[in-house]
Amino acid sequence: MRQGGPWLLVQAVLVFTVSACDHDHSLIGSRRRHFHEELAQPKHRACGTSHDNPLHGPQIAAAERRTYGAVQAALGGKGAVAAALAASAFPNSGVTLPITFHVVRWRGYSSTADMVTPPVTEQQVAAQVDVLNADYSGTGLQFAAPAVRFYDNQRWAGDCWGLLGEILDAVVKAPGAAVNILVCDLASSGGILGVMPDMPNGFNELDSSQAVAIDYRSMPGGPYTRYSGGRTLTHELGHFLGLLHTFGEGSCKASGGNDGIFDTPAQNTSSNGCPIGKDSCPDQPGVDAVNNFMDYSDDSCMQLFSLGQTARMQAVMLQYRPTLLATAMRLAAGNTTAAGSLPKPSPPPPRPPPPRLPAPRLLAASALPPQAKASPPVPGKPQLLHGRKAQQPAPRQAKRSQRPPAPPPPRKFLKASPNFGTTG
């Protein structure tokens, strides 16, 4: 018993320690699962984009007038707006914008606070672009096959919202060469799904702030049951192209509502879920556009951009993003190979082969029509053949003699006078 007493005590301590460790690991795993479940079920959509920008006012109206004429004046005339769109400087065939995704991760995960959700893959990025192209069909805007860049950075993966400016300065090197998308953990650090840091204003086209940031869980295949359909990026790119939220305090007092678009009804409050028929401005015509991509509805409820919103996005591309538009036009011409790459020189056109002259065709006398051989030619009068003058034979030159030419006569030189060269 004396020999076994200490050994039994050691065994008891080891068993207690292992049990405590197992309990701690179980508790940590439970907390992680609880954290993941909370993140997977956000109570509402949250966007960090501010409406305090120069586009909300006379500037954007002036841009639309420069681009489409009296678009804002056609408050009830959708036909006039459609005609203005067709006659504008924006390419009728539309443009395809190059797009680059900057994905933050750390040790195989997209966040230091979430060790449950799988990291973002290139397949998810491709699926996200498919959603964008479906949502923006009919606006004249599409997106090219994406370029994807990964960044392993513990600080960025732990506090993307707090370090947003630093991250964008580091990764967005050519704002005018492509649409730049930052994918990181915004929900844990900022409580939002996406943000457009600085709306376009005509002076910031080439700033690193001209990018969009989204939470990685909002992409197709993410854990958000209501917000993982890819519509967060559709919404934020609407801000990138000059659109505001369809709702806002004071909207019921203004014609055209909060966003200044003639065909989006006035809407005082954001939508949660999919409340079809909701009317937050009963004294204004129309009900809330809960199906619009610029509301806060669930992803499955978002379905459309209005005609007026399409006009504004095209106006912003022409007036405030000319460098990006020119890049897209070069891409359409086949002069770029990837998103953000520089244009490559066009090869010289191939030299055309020399033209082949047809061989002359000789007609036998029997093949000529009867009128061409009815009468012999009259001297001094041109002969007509099928209504055309026949060529007259050239006069024959006299045959030259075969004798060698006679030598020229000898040159005679006059004898100089004795007085030559003297003055008299």
- Reduced to 3 DSSP states, what percent helix, strand and coil does the chain have, rounded to the nearest 5? 35, 10, 55
Indicate the angle between helix axes 307-320 and 78-86, nearest 10 degrees.
30
Q: From CA 334, how far away is CA 344, in angstroms rounded?
A: 9
Is 205 a residue of the active site?
Answer: no
Residues near 259 by Cβ (< 8 Å), separated by ≥ 6? Answer: 243, 244, 245, 246, 248, 294
* pLDDT-derived band at 257, boundaries 50, 70, 90: confident
| Of 38, 166, 205, 236, catalytic | 236
Token pair recorded at residue 87: 């006659």
Q: What is the pLDDT of residue 102?
A: 98
What average pLDDT does the chain have?
75
Q: Which of 24-28, 31-35, 328-332, 412-416 has the highest mean pLDDT?
A: 328-332
* pLDDT exceeds cutoff 70 at 38: no
- Contact 207/180 with Cβ under 8 angstroms? no
Give the model confidence (pLDDT) of 180-232 as tens digits.
999 999 988 778 999 998 888 878 899 999 999 999 999 999 999 899 999 99
- What single letter denotes the amino acid at residue 215? D
Give the model confidence (pLDDT) of 358-378 as tens digits.
554 444 444 444 544 445 555
Higher pLDDT, 311 or 302: 302
Q: Which helix (H) or strand (E) holds 148?
A: strand 147-152
Domain with CATH 3.40.390 in the chain: 47-243+306-332
Q: What is the pLDDT of residue 154?
A: 96
* pLDDT exceeds cutoff 70 at 382: no
Give the model confidence (pLDDT) of 385-394 as tens digits.
444 444 555 5
* pLDDT-derived band at 326, boundaries 50, 70, 90: very high
CATH topology of domain 47-243+306-332: Collagenase (Catalytic Domain) (3.40.390)
Q: From CA 225, how far away is CA 375, in angstroms rounded?
A: 100
